[in-house]
Amino acid sequence: MSTRNHYDATGKQLRARKAEPDRAVALPSDGGRAPRVRSNELLNNGEQLIIEHAGREYCLRVTSNGKLILTA
């Protein structure tokens, strides 16, 4: 099994985790780097965004502390 390094949005390396057989994770084909987008572009300089995923709606919003939170 090959090992790849994964990083969070701040560049901090994440701990390796074995994928469960029924929940295989597909890595990007560009060497393991995920696409990057600035939050203000994603939120269109607003404070929240509704994301539709698998028939459900999720709300991504900026908290009063300036952090992001995703709720179902």
Residues found in the chain: 72
Does the pLDDT value for residue 69 go beyond 70?
Answer: yes
Give pLDDT tens digits for 11-67: 666 665 554 555 555 655 666 688 888 998 889 889 999 999 999 999 999 999 999
In a domain, 63, yes or no: yes
In a domain, 60, yes or no: yes
Residues 6+ apart with CB under 8 A from 51: 57, 58, 59, 60, 70
Total tally of structural domains belonging to the chain: 1
Which tops the pLDDT comparison, 57 or 9? 57
Q: What's the domain range around 41? A: 35-71
Alpha helix (H) residue ranges in 1-72: 39-42
In this prediction, residue 1 carries a pLDDT of 43
Residues 6+ apart with CB under 8 A from 48: 59, 60, 61, 62
Does the pLDDT value for residue 70 go beyond 90?
Answer: yes
In a domain, 50, yes or no: yes
In a domain, 43, yes or no: yes
In a domain, 3, yes or no: no
In a domain, 41, yes or no: yes
Give me the CATH number covering residue 39.
Answer: 2.10.70.10
